[in-house]
Amino acid sequence: MAWQIQCTASSPPASPPPFTPKCLPPRSLFFTLSATSSSRFCPPHMPSLRSVTCSLSAVESPTSTAGLDDSKTPLLEVKGLTAVIAETKQEILKGVNLVVHQGEIHAIMGKNGSGKSTFSKVVLVGHPDYEVTGGSVVFKGENLLDMEPEERSLAGLFMSFQAPIEIPGVNNIDFLHMAYNARRKKLGEPELGPLEVLGADLAILDEIDSGLDIDALRDVAKAVNGLLTPKNSVLMITHYRRLLEVIKPTCIHIMEDGRIIKTGDSSLAKVLEEKGYTSISAE
């Protein structure tokens, strides 16, 4: 479509730099407007009037966050990931697409049974309860699905567990120290800071806000915000908007029935709080 309009200008304005939004919902449209100016229709006595020919183009946004920043190589890129429960062959992941770049915080939200925790277990540990049936998971340019769990950890993935294994006399700090010492010996490094402990380029945090009061939540938020550097990223899985009030994510993804059905910025959490997941499903 082309339009011809007239505007008053002493000289053609400089073209602004192209704008690329950081987050777009799947299947949405992003419009760009280009213009060229000409003086061939300007009357001699009104040289400041110029004719501008505009063209309007629309580009369909990719599913999930693919294309957030095409100039950078993704830290994690998931394409069409499908998985079934190993014992029953029931499909649980039905084509998950997700892209995470360095220095970003992403949050996955969804109802119980939507596939959030299953996704994290398949990505991080290749959990034996699930069998990948299709798609790809590339982490730092390498095929993550070909790696053993310990190889994934050494590659720079870390996951907090929603329900850690309970052993009498052993708490989460003990697990952290054991993981820290194992990695330090492997790398032959001296003492490391808390977030360098596991060398986590990508930390996957599965419902770390479950059961926390507001003071504990602030402490967790402080720790998570401390995780982020320009070179690493955080992927959070949560039910609650309150966590996202203290940790501002780059993007929020809504998962339903084994798929990411919508992606947006932090305002998406407010929509969920006010209207619920049904409002998203109905779109």
pLDDT in tens, the chain (283 residues): 434 333 334 444 444 444 444 454 444 333 333 344 444 444 445 444 443 333 333 333 334 444 345 557 899 999 999 999 999 999 999 999 999 999 999 999 998 889 998 998 888 777 888 999 999 999 999 999 999 888 888 888 887 755 444 445 544 545 455 554 555 555 444 433 444 445 688 988 888 777 777 887 888 787 777 777 888 898 989 877 888 888 889 999 999 999 999 999 988 988 888 888 887 875 6
Q: Is 171 among the domain residues?
A: yes
Q: Is 45 among the domain residues?
A: yes
What pLDDT, on a 0 to 100 scale, did the predictor assign at position 89?
Answer: 96
Q: Is 165 among the domain residues?
A: yes
Looking at the structure of the chain, the number of domains it has is 2
What pLDDT, on a 0 to 100 scale, did the predictor assign at position 208?
Answer: 78
**Are residues 116 and 50 part of one domain?**
no
What pLDDT, on a 0 to 100 scale, did the predictor assign at position 224?
Answer: 77
**Are residues 154 and 38 part of one domain?**
no
CATH number at residue 156: 3.40.50.300
Q: Is 26 among the domain residues?
A: yes
**Are residues 276 and 199 part of one domain?**
yes
> Model pTM greater than 0.75?
no
- Burial class from Cβ neighbours inside 10 Å (0-12, 13-18, 19+) for residue 97 reads buried
Interior angle at CA 101, CA 96 and CA 107, nearest 5 = 55
Q: Is 78 among the domain residues?
A: no
- Please write down the HEC assignment for all residues of 116-172: HHHHHHHHHCCCCCEEEEEEEEEECCEEHHHCCHHHHHHHCEEEECCCCCCECCECH
Tokens describing residue 41: 């229709």
**Are residues 44 and 118 part of one domain?**
no
Domain around 18: 2-60
Q: Is 91 among the domain residues?
A: no
What is the distance between the alpha carbons of residues 66 and 77, in angstroms, rounded to a whole number?
A: 8
**Are residues 274 and 182 part of one domain?**
yes
Q: Is 180 among the domain residues?
A: yes
What pLDDT, on a 0 to 100 scale, did the predictor assign at position 275?
Answer: 85
**What is the residue whose two structure tokens read 């501008």?**
52
**Are residues 237 and 120 part of one domain?**
yes
Q: Is 172 among the domain residues?
A: yes
**Are residues 203 and 257 part of one domain?**
yes
What pLDDT, on a 0 to 100 scale, did the predictor assign at position 54?
Answer: 33
Which residues, listed in sequence order, are joined to residue 46 by a DSSP beta bridge?
A: none
**Are residues 224 and 168 part of one domain?**
yes
